Amino acid sequence: MMLAVDAGNSRIKWGLRHADGRWTDFGAASVDELERAYEAWARIPAPRHVAIANVAGPTMRETVIDLASRWQTELLWVAAAERACGVVNDYENPRQLGVDRWAAAVAAWQRERRECLVVMAGTATTIDVLDARGVFRGGLILPGLGLMKRALADHTAALTLARGNYRELPRNTADAMESGCIHAQVGAIERMYRQLPPGARCVISGGGAHALVPHLTMPVVQVEHLVLEGVAALAEEMMRGEGAQGCGSSC
């Protein structure tokens, strides 16, 4: 068994992948409530490997090491590389690409095997292009839906972070903020999608996906745990010695 971990800026997420491909024991905890992760991991059967994608820096790295210390297991830290799992990284500096974006692209390619737009709607929203040959062509990073709304509330005197609803033509301030931020996210996704050929699909994941999917007009599939799927695929390739990405427990 392998515990796949997505250590992000606002949350740490995990899932247990079994040898037969099944997933169980999904969970998540905010970085402000990490005791929930300690409690949840205490109930997880000991995995043979823990595979981690960490974009949250050295403090989160030490937290994951401490969380996994209850087991005698190998830690596999995945990272972006020039190629892995059938995907070629066309970023100017391949290792500069965020490992969460790389893992999401790998998982999307494993699922689709065709041109697709890979959208991760989290603290930040990333919108990336995979071509028909499995080449990661690049993409966008913009503030996520929640971050957009908080920026408006934090940097304007008259706007507050009140809960609003999406409206085509909002007639109150809370709805105007909610609708404007959704339009900004959806507009960026739709504009990027227009660069793809007919028949391409949008693969979307992340905590903000549910708010965006109803407003997207292209073919779209929502995947609950896209990054975890990619982390597991990258780690399995590492263990087979077929990829250059990532590093073992010593790095």
Residues assigned a catalytic role = 100
Of 13, 7, 26, which is closest to residue 99 (Cα–Cα)? 7
Q: Which amino acid is at 112?
A: E
Residue at token pair 């800026």: 9
| Under 8 Å between Cβ of 64 and 13 | no
Q: Which amino acid is it at 61?
A: R
Query: DSSP letters along 211-244, please?
Result: HHGGG--S-EEE-TTHHHHHHHHHHHHHHHT---
Contact 146, 122 (CB under 8 A): no
